[in-house]
Every structure is written in C-alpha cells, then in structure tokens.
Amino acid sequence: MVFTDYFGLDGSPANAYLLLLKALSLIPYWHYLICAAVVLIVFLYNFLEFHFLEDFFSGFRGSPVELTYNSCSQLYEGVVSKCRLLHGRYLATPWLSSPHIQTCFLNFFGRPPVFNYTRRLFGTSDGGTLALDWLLSSDVLDGAPHTDNAIPKDDSTPLVVVIPGLTSDSSSAYLKHLAFYTAKHGWNVVICNHRGLGGVAITSDCFYNAGWTEDVRVMIHYLHQEYPKAPLFLVGTSIGANILLKYLGEEGENIPVAGAVAVCCPYDLLIGDRFINRRLVQKFYDRALAIGLQGYAQLHQPRFSRLINWEAIEKSRSIRDFDNHATRIIGKYETVDTYYRRCSSAIYLESVSVPLLCINALDDPVCTREGIPWDECRANENVVLATVKHGGHLAFFEGITGSGLWWVRAASEFLSELHSSEYMHVQKKVCKPHTPLDSSIDQGPFVNVAEDGLVAALNDEQMENKQELQVLEMQDNHHESIPQEKTNEEDEPVTDTNSDKSSGVLETTTTTHEASALDVVISPIRKYIGQLSRQNRWSTWLLIYIAIATSWPLVGSMLRLVFRKKLRNAMPGGLLKR
C-alpha cells in the first residue's frame, strides 16, 4: 500500500499536489480555524493600531507627556512647570488601547455626565442666531439650574468659553465631560454652538467654516461687556481649536482673553485633507464626517438649496467634495485648496499673545501629527505644546472603567494654575498684528482675465504695478482735463478755482501756454514710457543692455574706422607704419 500511495500502478510517480491535498485533509479543521483567527487578530491589531502589548510589556505605565516650548518661556516656568498631569504619564484604558476604538467609543457611547444646560439665544449683526448653552458652578454644586439672571454683572468667577468641533454641539459627549468637570471645580462654562447647530435654525446667509472667527469675536466682546470682572478663558476642540488659534493670531494683544487651550487642532487643513484620504481606515472617517456635514445641510436645506447646487451636496462622498460644492462657494473662496490654506491656523501661531496650551495625540486618526507646527510652537514664548503617544481624537480615556478624559483634567489644571499666577493676559489697546501673507492665488478675489479667456490670480507685485498704472492714468487724465486757463490783460495765467474744489486731492499747477503745448506732446510719450518702466521694474535696464549687446559689433566697427582715419591724418606716415 505504501508503494501504490507514492507511485502509480505502473510504477510512475503520482501527482505531488494530490499527495499534498491528501496530507492537508488529515489535519483537523479546527486547526485551520485557529490559524485563521490568529491571522485575523494580527491583521486587526495592526490595522486598528492597537497598543495593548506595548502597554503590557511596559507594565501599564503609559507614555510620558512630551512638552515643546520656547527655552525663554515664562509661561512654562511660571505655570506649566507646576502642572502635575503635564509632567506625568498618560495610560489609555486597557480595553480601549487603540486610537480608533477610543474615537468610536467616544462618539457612540462616551459615558457623559447627566445634567441640563441653560440656553440663551444671541443675535448677530448680520441676522444670524447663536445658541449659548450655560452650565454654572452653582448648577452642579447645588443640583438645580438657575435662571438667566443668575450671574451678576460684577461676578468675578472665571468663565470658560468652549468652541465645539465640526458638526458638534453642546450635547456631544466630550463637551459634556469638559463642562461638568470645569463647573464642578467652581468655574462657569458657556458653549458657543456654531450657526445652525444645537437645534437652532440658520437665520442668515452666513454659515460657519473652519476659519470663521467672527462669531467668536462677537461673543467674546459681548461676554466681556456683560461680565467685565470675570476672567475669560477659551477652549477649542478639533475644528473649534483651529478657529480659536486663528482668532488669537488675528487679534494679537488687543483681546480680552486671559488664556486658552486648543485640543486636537488640525493646524494645517491642506495636510489634513491629504492625510484623511491616504489609508483605508482614514477614508472611513472621511466618509463619516461627510455624512455629518450632509446631515447639517439637510437640516437647513431650503437655505442651502437657494445658495448652492443641492444635488452636488447629496453626491458628496468626502469632506473635500462637500467643501468644494458648499463651503468654498458660500465662503467665496476660489478653490478648495485656497480655503484650506487661508483657514489653517498654523500660520497664525506666531502672532498669538495669549498664554496657550496645545494638546495633541500622535496617533490621532483625524488630525495627523504631520500637521503639528513644532517649530512655530517652539518659537512663540506664549505657546506650550503637549503631545502624548496615544489618545485618539478628543478621547484620551483613562482608568479601568474609562469614565474620564485625560485632556479634560489637563486643560482644567493648566487654566487653574494660570488663573492663580501673574501670567494671565491683560488686554492692550494696540493695532492688530500683521497677518501672514499667503500665495498669490490666496489673495483673491483679485483675478486677471486675459483676452483668450484664461483666468489667473494677480500676485502682490502685479497688483502694485496695476495700482501704479491706474494712478498714472488718473494723473494724465486729470492733466488733460484741466480747464482752459484764463488770462488777464497782463497775460498772467489764472487758474479755475472750481477745479481745485472738485478734485480735493490733486493740485492744479500754474503753467504758461508754451508749457501746456509742450505737455500735450510729451504727455503721451511719458505715459507709455512710465507704463513700460512700471510693468517690470528691471525691464528698462534689460532693454538697454540688449540694445548695447546687439548693436556693439556694428557700432564698434564704425568707431574703429573713424578713429583710424583720424589717427592716420594726425600722425606721420612712418610712425603709423611701425
């Protein structure tokens, strides 16, 4: 039997693959199930970026918090150095040891505390409506919500103003964690819901976006006027953090904010857009956020349909699609990349004058670590960047039960230390800082339409040249439109006083008839020469150089013949021959 198993009846070798299949069939099927389960576990472990084994072999000690700051930062020396959490370690909840699991668990479960807000509606100057949801420390400590007039004008209790993330409102789990924890420690909290969120209708044609800072500016001014003795602190999350940083950079010193915290800020929206389309797991987030934006648009469909193409919104399958068909059109941006570039907060970090703590997780599945502006944070003495190895997006669950968020405690500790220190920011009446310049396409809506129909953006130099040409044409047109001068009997020129009153800017000069006639001849020539010289500042010298270089052989030959003839006539013949 052994001989016939390995060789045929005629003595020839049997098919090796058939022999292999016969051998594999002898292995119990449950062994195959175990192997498939192991392969699946390894795949999911890497795909979902689990770090349970890493935590296990490190003894569940967690990873240290890395701080990035300026070496001369007084904020670090006087405030951050006293924060115990920022100098400790963060350990994620063991059964949530994955950034994706943490992020999904936060959005679907979150385990938020149970309480009720007190809502106030605020109307903006453009007709918009904002929902302000308040949670006072007395609401948490006493257990009963108060009326709208619960806070007196002269109240000095610190007030934390929260800016939610994309499509988030005050009912989001992470915002409830933040509001309850802050109010429990004796501070008042107000969450400024974005336009159209929090159950409030959109009452104007103005929508919020990742760079819309006007609502925050108006609300801060209003709260500062209402409660001038209460220190104002800002906390921004995700897109709200991007809006927060942009607002701080735009205002500079002239801002009534004592301190701020930015959590999971994307910083660079262009890099974030590239990142969220890179891997398969990121595309799930992209699609989920796009569905959230479509739901936001669905709530206000009549107004969206009137302003943009509704069918294009329904067909959007990513954040970029929605921004291309809706956000950039309503915000009047030329392209999606222009919108991302101009609304990114990284370029505004250098102008931040308020004590600022930035918190980010390096494994954030939505806001990549590639967009973190390390050098910009290190260059500004008012900024301290705290990064942890794990944490997900706005999650940072801690403890065995996962009932708390680490970043909530870290932000509260930082603001408490800042409030008890001498480093709180005090508003200074100064001019707004110089905002960074973007590329030429970001300087819209200035465009140049050529004769062939092509549209190109004008850069700063072209705009300056265009303005100079317009000023020159105005001067020439004014010169040509000067009324005919009147002369008296002594032939003294008399100018028309009405022209002086009408112009207000340009001065009318007194000239003779001969000068006026000469100007009529010279003015067109001077005009075109001026246009040529201003079109490109170095073009005149380039033309002179080209003219000399091309004509030099001919001119040199002519000069050589002329001077040679003169030398021949001036010198003796014998000397010339030598």
Average pLDDT across each block of 10 residues of the chain; the chain has 578 residues. List them in order. Answer: 52 74 90 95 95 95 96 96 97 96 94 94 94 94 62 93 96 97 96 95 93 96 95 98 98 95 97 94 95 95 93 95 96 96 96 97 96 97 98 96 96 97 88 51 38 39 47 47 41 40 35 45 55 51 66 68 61 44
Residue 234, helix vs strand vs coil: strand
Q: Which two tokens stand for residue 340?
A: 């991302």
Question: At 47, phi and psi to the nearest 5?
Answer: -65, -40
SS3 539: helix
Beta-sheet pairing, 232-237 with 188-192 = unpaired
Q: CB under 8 Å to 314, separation ≥6 — which residues?
A: 294
Q: For 193, how many CA atoms within 13 A lie in the half-sphere containing its CB?
A: 27
Residue type for 522, please?
I
CB neighbourhood size of 433 (10 A):
17
Question: Is 451:459 a contact under the CB 8 Å cutoff?
Answer: no
Dihedral sign computed on CA atoms, order 368, 370, 371, 376: positive
DSSP label of 370: G
Q: Tokens for 273?
A: 């857009």
Q: Using CA atoms, how far apart are residues 512 and 266, in angstroms rounded to an integer?
A: 68
Whether the CB-CB separation of 402 and 93 falls below 8 Å is answered with yes
- Strand, helix or coil for residue 405: strand
Q: What are phi and psi of 133, to 5 degrees?
A: -105, 120
8-state DSSP, 504 = S
Q: Is the peptide bond before 445 cis (omega within 30 degrees of 0)?
A: yes
Would you state the pLDDT for residue 340?
97
Report helix, strand or coil for 459. Answer: coil
Structure tokens at 397: 């669950």
Cα–Cα dist 324/35, whole Å: 46
**Backbone phi and psi for residue 159, each to the nearest 5 degrees, phi listed first:** -120, 125
CB 365 within 8 A of CB 282: yes
DSSP string for residues in 117-167: -EEEEEE-TTS-EEEEEEE-HHHHHHSS---TT-S-TT--S-EEEEE--TT
> What b-and-e string marks burial along 13-23, b requiring 16 or more CB atoms within 10 Å of the CB?
eeeeeeeeeee
Longest dimension (CA), the chain: 143
Long-range contacts of 175-179 (CB under 8 A, 24+ apart): 175/237, 176/110, 176/112, 176/113, 176/115, 177/110, 177/112, 177/113, 177/404, 177/405, 177/408, 178/235, 178/237, 178/405, 178/408, 178/411, 179/115, 179/117, 179/135
Provide CB contacts within 8 A for 51, sequence distance 6+.
92, 97, 98, 363, 389, 390
Q: Measured between alpha carbons, how far is 468 from 535 in angstroms, rounded to an integer?
A: 9
Q: What pTM was estimated for this model as a whole? A: 0.73
**In angstroms, rounded to a whole number, what is the distance separating the alpha carbons of residues 53 and 37?**
18
Sign, CA torsion 245/251/253/254: negative
Nearest to 261 by CA among 113, 131, 409, 395: 409
Residues 6+ apart with CB under 8 A from 532: 539, 540
